[in-house]
Structure 1
Amino acid sequence: MCTSVSVISEDGTHVMGRTMDWYDLYVKPMYIPRGYQWKSAFDNKKYTNKYAIVGGGFQDNNYIDLSDGVNECGLMAQKLTFSNGAQLVDDKHDDKIQLEAYEFVTYILGNFSSVTEVEENIEKFELMSNVINNTKHGGSELHFSLS
């Protein structure tokens, strides 16, 4: 389980913090540069990040798994765990962007500059269940926090 805290100061500054109450996940500091190209583990579709990201996570078989981070615009995101956290999709729809649940933080931070922009585009995404593509990076227990 993870615990998340988000504070907004009197001057409007946002600060996020979290715990990672797990065994060693090999999480390390990561920097993902602007223009970084990556492929989704779900369907191998290529994506190019518009924004640079710093955060904590790990790289496994050329796939980046960010637990949390902040992009160059100041958008912050966290991937947290909680029983029955996410509503994942079993059947894909061609008009949506399909991602493994663990890829959501990398995509959001790499392509959006604000929470408002994420909210305006959230319906374009499908976080896919492990029914279609069996991955070891988590699924239905994931949920997300943005600031």
Structure 2
Amino acid sequence: MCTNITLTAKNGDIFFGRTMDLDISMFGEDPGLDLDITLATVPKHINIASQVSPWTSKYTVLGVMTKYTTVMYDGMNEHGLVGDMQVLVEATTKNTQDIIDDGKQPLLTEEFVLYILSNFKTVAEIKEHYKEFVLADEPFVYKGQNLHFPLHYTFVDTTGEGIVLEPVLDGGFKLYDYVDVMTNSPEYNYHTTNIRHYINLSDIDHPTHRVMKNKVDVEPIEHGTGYGLFGLPGDYTSPSRFIRSFYLKNMLDDFDTNKGINRLYSVFRPIIVPRGLEHKKAEMSITDYTRYWSGYDVTKQIAYTQTGEGLAITAKELDTSLTDITYHAIHLDNNVVFAS
């Protein structure tokens, strides 16, 4: 479904991004149910009308949402806490009344990102409280349909500290330290073990030649360019995307903060899934592909979004002066500037 990557500039500034890969329409691009995606600002000190546990926001949040709902797919709050949701088929939930009887707070799977970002400043704060929340087994009702996405979550703050929360304990969470990359199932400990299988990958090209035992002198193709990454998985399964993201992110040149969004976008290019590659069934016309990419400059408090429908990138700065939930249109066109 998705990939996220976090980069850190030379001065410590954080840049967080994600791809949203899904087989459901988000911008009216396919028939059937459409999730009506928008950039949105949810201000502090307003009531959030949850379908299970309404709450009052403490902090302003800017992120990608389904319009007129509480479903935020990724976002950033005014204190620089940023996070997202991605599919985890192993995710669990629990009966709402049982959660309440246990003295815990029930939360909807689809509302969890907005809840955390509107209530916490730092990863350290989340660590103190995450055991108080359990995901309820109730669907999210949208346009008369019952939706339920099995999900796990990533959160990163301005210090670069990050966590992954996976609701695999009867709706309760396992917590993992984040290694600056996240994809979908299986559980996170599989991915962080699997990266060890690719420890041979390198950003150094292969030597110019190798003389074999039979005296044959073997030269690499094209002077060995790219041979250090020979064997890097190129498919779009979540384990392969995790490996590709992890090693590419760790091999980037160090960069100044003014180059942060550019570097972030560049490392996502090999991860973006083109339309048409992933049909669940041969007869299905709708495919799983990258519906949008979003990137967050945490220091400047700016969100950037590009859809799979065009080249245009929509940018929006977080505005703490707003007092009502405000929706900001995402451009779907190419927005190409022609040379004179």
TM-score (norm 1): 0.85
Equivalent residue, structure 2, for 1:89: 94
- Answering whether residue 154 of structure 2 is matched by residue 145 of structure 1, we say yes
Q: Aligned pair in 2 of structure 1 residues 87, 10: CA closer, same or farther (>3 Å)?
A: farther
- Answering whether residue 34 of structure 2 is matched by residue 33 of structure 1, we say no
Q: Report the CA distance between 1:12 and its aligned residue.
A: 2.1
Deviations 1:8-60 (Å, cap 9, x if unpaired)?
33322221111111232321100101112113212xx3310000000001135
Equivalent residue, structure 1, for 2:194: none
Equivalent residue, structure 2, for 1:101: 109
Equivalent residue, structure 1, for 2:61: 53
**Is 101-110 or 10-19 further displaced after alignment?**
10-19
Report the AA paired with residue 34 of structure 1.
K
Query: Which whole-Å CA distance do the structure 2 matches of 1:88 and 1:13 have between them?
Result: 36
Q: Does the 8 A contact of 2:66 with 2:72 survive in 1?
A: yes
Q: Does the 8 A contact of 1:2 with 1:82 survive in 2?
A: no
Please give the secondary structure, in 2, of the residue aligned with 1:79.
strand
Where structure 2 has 5 or more consecutive residues not aligned to the other structure, the ranges are 27-35, 141-145, 157-340
TM-score (norm 2): 0.39
Structure with greater Cα Rg: 2
Percent of aligned pairs with the same amino acid: 30
| Matched pairs, number | 138
Query: Which whole-Å CA distance do the structure 2 matches of 1:88 and 1:8 have between them?
Result: 34
Q: Does the 8 A contact of 2:139 with 2:148 survive in 1?
A: no
Q: Report the CA distance between 1:6 and its aligned residue.
A: 1.5
Query: Which whole-Å CA distance do the structure 2 matches of 1:11 and 1:71 have between them?
Result: 21
- Answering whether residue 85 of structure 2 is matched by residue 76 of structure 1, we say no
Q: Which has the higher strand share?
A: 1
Report the AA paired with residue 37 of structure 1.
N
Q: Once superposed, which parts of structure 1, at least 4 consecutive aligned residues long, lie more than 6 Å away?
A: none
Query: Which whole-Å CA distance do the structure 1 matches of 2:104 and 2:122 have between them?
Result: 20
Query: Which whole-Å CA distance do the structure 2 matches of 1:14 and 1:88 have between them?
Result: 32
Q: Does the 8 A contact of 1:41 with 1:99 survive in 2?
A: no
Report the AA paired with residue 96 of structure 1.
K
Q: Does the 8 A contact of 2:50 with 2:70 survive in 1?
A: no
Deviations 1:56-88 (Å, cap 9, x if unpaired)?
01135xx3100000000000010111322x232
Q: Which has the higher helix share?
A: 2
